[in-house]
Structure 1
Amino acid sequence: MKHRSFLVVLFSVIVFLVSPQLYANQEEASQQIITKQVQPSALTYLKKMQQAYKELNYELLYLNTAQNQIEPKQLIHGVLDGQRIAYFCYLNGGIRESLQFDGKISYYQQGNQAYSLVTNRDHSVFANIANFNFESGNKNYEYLILGKSRIAGKRSIAIRMTSKDMYRYSYIIWLDLGSYLPLRLETINKSNLILEQTMVVSLNVTESINPWIKRMSDQKAPDVLHLPQTTVKDVAPWELTWLPPGFKIIKDDQHKLMLHDTDPISYIMINDGIVSVSVYISTKKSTLTQQQNIIQRGGTLLYTKQQENIEVNVIGEIPLLTAEKIAASIKAAK
């Protein structure tokens, strides 16, 4: 009997000594599970960025850097009666600015007549990334959180969009953890070299729209510039037999160049949701064969190739390999 009582007491003492550590381990494990559950994914951050970019009132001062050339620019964005309005300008040199609102974009340039174009395409900085369908885009890009840092005095988080193939560039996006607005975007190649960078140096988010661009929206926009009709056929007589994964043909026609009495130029545009690539096909002007020319500024490539009886120009933010394969895939339409 005494032996049994001794064992009961001993067991109670052991439980008393072990329980705090056991509970502590359980609590720590539970906290780790909770932390893991509430930690947003890269895709969640990117969706928050898209929403903030379209719905907030903000002002950005930023720098575009490509091949050691730095261009300071400004963007003022607001939402007026449910419609987005964006003012954009270059801060160096002659005055160059634009205002996009109500289905038009108006251009103002020092020494030239102001004009407007009808468009619903977003022309503001970060627009391609901010309007990308990230959910369907995960077929071609992988999203990964790299870590946190500080950009323009703001706590930020870096997310990498890694291309799953060799036919497009990858990107690193820094988002403000307060507003979720984009603060920095880098275009990088397969060697992880930065080809182009856009970096915000000042961000100001406001409750109400900037009164200055509100007044601009009340002013009469410059007359819409009606470009001469140059299309001569609905479809180009050439076709692309190869497209990079995820790209689709969004335009395919044949037209003459404005103000030039030349043979029609075939034009095909492809797009993957971020990048647009233009392909121009014309009758070869040179008697030399298999000539090619490569011009690159930042991430934008101009690739020209003369093959057989045609000249091909491929323009877009794509690697050289992609441009070469696109040009080589051109065949006469059946």
Structure 2
Amino acid sequence: MKKSLICALVIYCFSSVAAYAAENPSVKALLSEMSKASQQLNYQLSYIVINRNTIEPLRYSHAVENNVQLAHLVYLSGPMREIIRRGGEVSYIDSSSEPFTIRANYMVAPTIPLLNSNINELSKYYDFVLLGKAREAGATCQVLRVVSKDGMRYSYVLWVDEKTKLPLRADLVDRDGDILEQFRTISLAVGDGVSKALGELQNVQLPQVLSLPQGNLTHTYWKVSWVPNGFKPEELNRYKLSGTNQMVESQLYSDGLFDFSVYVSDRNDQSLKSQLVRQGRRSLQIYVSGKNEVAVIGDIPPETALRIARSVKFSPVAAKKVADSNAVNNSPETDVAPESSSQ
């Protein structure tokens, strides 16, 4: 009798665990499905982006035609603005400026986070925690949190539609748990109707692709000695500020979810004292180090921006060579300094 009771309890426990696992798939697998769905489905999301002082309505449409990804983002209030992606080309159209096209595989725009992210890469630096279920835009969603392992950046809380696996809501949260920004879907449409509408983009005449100058610096007189794990440096650039002769060097860093830029210039009479400006998700940290001014701007917490700015190290010998070269060549993109900026 006792053996039968124990066997029954064991069977019940295992069946309960299996049922729970079936209803609660691994968070990483869920995010991988979300990333796959966002790139393969034909869908349209109408959503709002809520900041502390503004609400911006947008409509994002996506389809795949002949193995080519098509996407169309439209700002639904204010001046006419839209962004069109056709494969590896993205066109920016704004009624207040000349339209242009660049080569890229993603839009620089307020799209719902993690739509096209590399989940395997992000899992090295972020933990994914399942929080439960909730409803958003009339759909049942799995709610999960994406939080950095080192605590040096912001987190997201995501609502993923159980049926389509598309993200319907994303809250950007700081380390105190305060919401800095929200993406909230109002309506969702999935099907061939979206594909037919976006298929017409293939025949739209868009601006020719711009030939953007590539950063040609590989060495400089400064280097960032600390960044949070996962942030990788991209192009290093040198240029003159518009309307002045002040030379500035900059480098962009990204971890695939957030990014920031470091700007370095000579200190002058117009240089600001070390200070912090924060607006929503964006931090601007200015830090004066001797004869140099460092500015860190990006979607990172203020404390992280300050630590990055303070980590910038300078080589006086290399700085003198750069200054002498600029005086001789009078060029905004002269690369003569011997010290590498790689991390």
> Which category of TM-score, normalised to the shorter sequence, fits these structures?
0.7 to 0.9
Q: Which residue of 2 aligns with 1:312?
A: 294
TM-score, normalised to structure 1, is 0.85
Q: Which residue of 2 aligns with 1:121?
A: 106
Aligned equivalents of 1:230, 1:51: Cα separation in 2: 31
Q: 1:105 aligns with which of 84, 90, 100?
A: 90
Bigger mean CA deviation after superposition, 184-193 or 128-137? 128-137
Aligned equivalents of 1:236, 1:127: Cα separation in 2: 36
How far off is 1:22 after superposition? 6.6
Q: Secondary structure at the match of 2:226?
A: coil
Q: Which residue of 2 aligns with 1:256?
A: 240
Aligned equivalents of 1:144, 1:64: Cα separation in 2: 24
Q: Write the mapping of 1:32-181 to structure 2, written as runs, cut at 5 A.
A: 32-38=16-22, 39-123=24-108, 125-126=110-111, 129-181=114-166
TM-score, normalised to structure 2, is 0.83
Q: Secondary structure at the match of 2:62?
A: strand
| 8 A contact 1:75–1:125 mirrored in 2 | no
- Please tell me the residue identity of whatever aligns with 2:231: F
Structure 1 gap segments, 5+ residues each:
1-14
| 8 A contact 2:152–2:304 mirrored in 1 | yes
Size of the aligned set, in residue pairs, is 315
- Please tell me the residue identity of whatever aligns with 2:17: I
Q: Which residue of 2 aligns with 1:265?
A: 248
Q: 1:303 aligns with which of 282, 285, 290?
A: 285
Q: Mark the CA change 1:232 to 1:270 in structure 2 (over 3 Å): closer, same or farther.
A: closer
Identity of aligned residues (%): 29
- Please tell me the residue identity of whatever aligns with 2:257: I
How far off is 1:84 after superposition? 0.7
| 8 A contact 1:238–1:266 mirrored in 2 | no
Q: Mark the CA change 1:185 to 1:37 in structure 2 (over 3 Å): closer, same or farther.
A: closer
Q: Mark the CA change 1:308 to 1:152 in structure 2 (over 3 Å): closer, same or farther.
A: same
Bigger mean CA deviation after superposition, 134-143 or 99-108? 134-143
Q: Secondary structure at the match of 1:129?
A: coil
| 8 A contact 1:232–1:256 mirrored in 2 | no
Q: Which residue of 2 aligns with 1:10?
A: none
Q: Which residue of 2 aligns with 1:195?
A: 180
Aligned equivalents of 1:302, 1:248: Cα separation in 2: 19
Residues 21-79 of structure 1: per-residue CA shift (max 9 Å, x gap): 67754552342132144331111111110000100000011111111311111101111
Q: Write the mapping of 1:18-33 to structure 2, written as runs, cut at 5 A.
A: 25=9, 27-33=11-17
Aligned equivalents of 2:155, 2:211: Cα separation in 1: 37
Residues 89-114 of structure 1: per-residue CA shift (max 9 Å, x gap): 11111111110113221122224332
Structure 2 gap segments, 5+ residues each:
316-338
| Greater Rg by CA | 1
Q: Mark the CA change 1:145 to 1:105 in structure 2 (over 3 Å): closer, same or farther.
A: same
| 8 A contact 2:130–2:142 mirrored in 1 | yes
Q: Mark the CA change 1:309 to 1:116 in structure 2 (over 3 Å): closer, same or farther.
A: same
Q: Which residue of 1 aligns with 2:223?
A: 239
Once superposed, what is the RMSD of the aligned Cα atoms?
2.5
Q: 1:278 aligns with which of 250, 261, 272?
A: 261
Q: Mark the CA change 1:207 to 1:219 in structure 2 (over 3 Å): closer, same or farther.
A: closer
Aligned equivalents of 2:270, 2:240: Cα separation in 1: 22
